[in-house]
Amino acid sequence: MALALRCFRHLPALLYRSSFTLRALPRSPAACPALLPGGCGQALHQRLLTRQLATKKAKGKGQSQARVNISAALVEDIINLEETNEDMQAVVEALKEDFSRNLSVRTSPGVLDHVIVMTKDGKFPLNQLGQISQKSPQLIIVNMTNFPESTAAAMKAIRESGMNLNPEVDGTIIRVPIPKVTREHRESLAKLAKQSTNKSKEALRKVRSKSINQVKKFKNKVSEDTIWLLEKQIQQMADSTAAEMDKLLAAKTKELLG
């Protein structure tokens, strides 16, 4: 009985040392890039799974769905998320340039620079075939002396550019009267802005699909949860980029329609 009591008195100290040992156990690295089975891979999988469960829990409660935000360093062996983001932003920048260059109620010689002309030797921007100048606020001149054989093709390209232009030819000189900025013309430009945005969104979908297909190549090497979360991350990036395009379109439409 006395022996049992002595052992009982030492029990709190033993428990204290045991708990201290457990707290002192080393943790797995927080930023291991490997996603293969093993220590670091298991640690990462647990972190990603925790995010997935939290997301599903929020969705189940009818709350706003939590955003996935995976560190690019953790998944760099699967996909370069920074490169994916850059590709998506490149589509946005191309749309901005198109809006600025081709969709404006203020006409200048520059609006014809990048009209694509189909010739027997291939496709060329108009400014590489002819000399473009503005004779007056109501008239742009395209001098096709250097490539006279492309005059007819240049005429057709200008007429079909979607800018409501009706060029007239005099030898190798193309005269492009600038129409007055009517309400109809403004509405036509607004429709072109919508079409350009839709084309940009199609380019965005191609970037998204390419990235998701890259992730799926690793479905036999990493967990389904990891693949699911990466696909969700890429989709969120695409949704955010599409929303940015919608804002650009709304601003351009307001500018064009006045």
Any residues with CB less than 8 A from the CB of 52 and at least 6 apart, and which? 225, 228, 229
The CATH number given to 72-103+182-257 is 1.10.132.20
Confidence at residue 73, expressed as pLDDT on a 0 to 100 scale? 66
Question: How confident is the model at residue 68, as a pLDDT?
Answer: 72
Better pLDDT: 111 or 154: 154
Contact 173, 141 (CB under 8 A): yes
CATH of domain 109-177: 3.30.1360.40
The Cα 207–Cα 130 span in angstroms is: 35
Instruction: Round to whole Å and give the CA distance between 238 and 201.
Output: 9
Q: Residues with Cβ < 8 Å from 57, sequence gap 6 or more?
A: none
Q: What is the DSSP letter of 205?
A: H
User: Residues 232-236: contacts with CB within 8 Å, 24+ apart?
Assistant: 232/55, 232/68, 233/68, 233/69, 233/70, 233/81, 234/81, 234/84, 234/208, 235/208, 236/67, 236/68
In terms of Cα–Cα distance, which of 120, 164, 117, 121 is closest to 144?
117
The predicted-structure confidence for 232-246, as pLDDT tens digits, reads as follows 999 999 999 999 999
Instruction: Give the phi and the psi of residue 71 in degrees, each rounded to 5.
Output: -65, 130
Domain map of the chain by residue range? 72-103+182-257, 109-177
* Percent of the chain predicted with pLDDT > 90: 46
> Taking the alpha carbons of 78, 80, 85, 86 in that order, is the dihedral positive or negative?
negative
Q: What is the pTM of this model?
A: 0.59
Q: Band of the pLDDT at 26, cuts 50, 70, 90?
A: very low
- pLDDT greater than 70 at residue 183: yes
Identify which has the larger pLDDT, 203 or 225: 203
More confident residue, 175 or 161: 175
Residue 125 reports pLDDT greater than 70: yes
Q: What is the pLDDT of residue 135?
A: 86
